């Protein structure tokens, strides 16, 4: 085997066995993309119980100032829900896994295709949640979600039920299922956190900067792949298999890492 062939095999093996390490310090040339739940904020039993404390409310605008505005929130929450959490902070935000996106200039683009079966799916998911204690149905507009964090024993039932409902109400390939920590979502194909990040990277003030995405959940893997291919850093929060090359153990570690950049020029 040639040296080049051996090197290719070693490289492929390295890609298959990523062991994420602690990320290096952030610099002023990065474009920072941040998931919310489980990354900036501790997870709660339901989305409305998540708490935004004074520390993170102060840290985010400090980071935006340090990076010339190149900070965006990339979340599965609806845009209006993220704005409710961070009232008074007019940051760029991609909501519903990129289905709605507010740019740094304040303009908003909404990708809401008219998908077949939305009305019956909305009705059946609401009925399913009403029949089981601990399930929470969330209608985000373009996406529908069932939260089972308060009833983890229902996880398998939720996955089976949603697949069955999807097969009956909306056969075909227009919809996709997205799993997460105690949640299963239905939404249109073709949009995810990775596509949202790549769109930001073509716009000021993000263009030309080192992309860095921090997330904790399965849905964040799309973003990890996107920033890695763009030559940036993907940072996984917490345990679990991942495509990210870096890892931080928890929300507190994320905040310490981010705060070091915000304080660097003081």
User: Which tokens is 124 given?
Assistant: 């059946």
pLDDT at 5: 45
Catalytic sites, residue numbers: 35
Q: Token pair 């829900």 is at which residue?
A: 81
Q: CATH topology of 25-111+191-262 equal to that of 118-188?
A: no
Average pLDDT on 137-149 reads 87
How does pLDDT run across 15-67, given as a tens digit for each residue?
455 789 999 999 999 999 999 999 999 988 888 889 999 999 999 999 999 99
Q: What is the pTM of this model?
A: 0.85
pLDDT tens digits for range 151-180: 889 999 999 988 888 777 666 657 788 888
CA 219, CA 222: separation in Å to the nearest integer?
Answer: 6
Q: 266 pLDDT exceeds 70? A: no
CA 25 – CA 254 distance, rounded (Å): 11
CA dihedral sign, ordered 66, 67, 70, 75: negative
Rounded CA gap, 4 and 219, in Å? Answer: 35
Predicted confidence at residue 170, as pLDDT, reads 63
Cα 112 from Cα 97, distance rounded (Å) = 12
What per-residue confidence (pLDDT) applies to 42?
95
pLDDT in tens, 90-136: 899 999 999 999 999 999 998 866 666 778 888 888 999 899 998 89
Tokens 């399965």 belong to 218
Q: Which fold has domain 25-111+191-262?
A: Rossmann fold (3.40.50)
Q: What is the pLDDT of residue 118?
A: 77
Q: According to CATH, what is the number of the domain 118-188?
A: 3.30.70
Q: Is the pLDDT of residue 4 over 80?
A: no
Tell me: the pLDDT tens digits for 180-234?
888 888 888 888 999 999 999 999 999 999 999 999 999 999 999 999 999 999 9
The arithmetic mean of pLDDT across residues 3-8, rounded, is 42
Q: Where are the domains of the chain?
A: 25-111+191-262, 118-188
**Radius of gyration of the chain from Cα atoms?**
19
């Amino acid at each position: 085997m040639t040296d080049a062939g051996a090197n290719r095999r070693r490289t492929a093996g390295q890609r298959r066995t990523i062991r994420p390490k602690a990320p290096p310090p952030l610099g002023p040339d990065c474009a920072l993309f941040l998931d919310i739940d489980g990354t900036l904020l501790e997870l709660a039993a339901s989305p409305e119980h998540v708490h935004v404390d004074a520390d993170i409310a102060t840290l985010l605008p400090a980071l935006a100032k340090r990076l010339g505005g190149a900070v965006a929130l990339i979340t599965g929450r609806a845009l209006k829900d993220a704005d409710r959490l961070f009232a008074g902070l007019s940051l760029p935000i991609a909501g519903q896994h990129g289905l709605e996106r507010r740019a740094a200039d304040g303009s908003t683009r909404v990708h809401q295709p008219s998908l077949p079966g939305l009305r019956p799916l909305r009705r059946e998911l609401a009925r399913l949640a009403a029949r089981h204690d601990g399930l929470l149905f969330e209608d985000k507009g373009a996406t529908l979600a069932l939260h089972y964090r308060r009833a983890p024993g229902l996880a398998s039932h939720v996955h089976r039920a949603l697949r069955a409902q999807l097969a009956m109400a909306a056969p075909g390939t227009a919809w996709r299922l997205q799993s997460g920590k105690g949640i299963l979502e239905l939404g249109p194909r073709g949009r995810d956190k990775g596509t949202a990040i790549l769109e930001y990277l073509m716009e000021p003030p993000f263009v030309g900067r080192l992309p860095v995405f921090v997330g904790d959940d399965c849905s964040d893997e799309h973003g990890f792949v996107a920033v890695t291919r763009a030559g940036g850093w993907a940072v996984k929060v917490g345990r679990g298999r991942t495509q990210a090359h870096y890892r931080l153990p928890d929300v507190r570690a994320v905040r310490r890492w981010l705060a070091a950049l915000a304080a660097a020029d003081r």
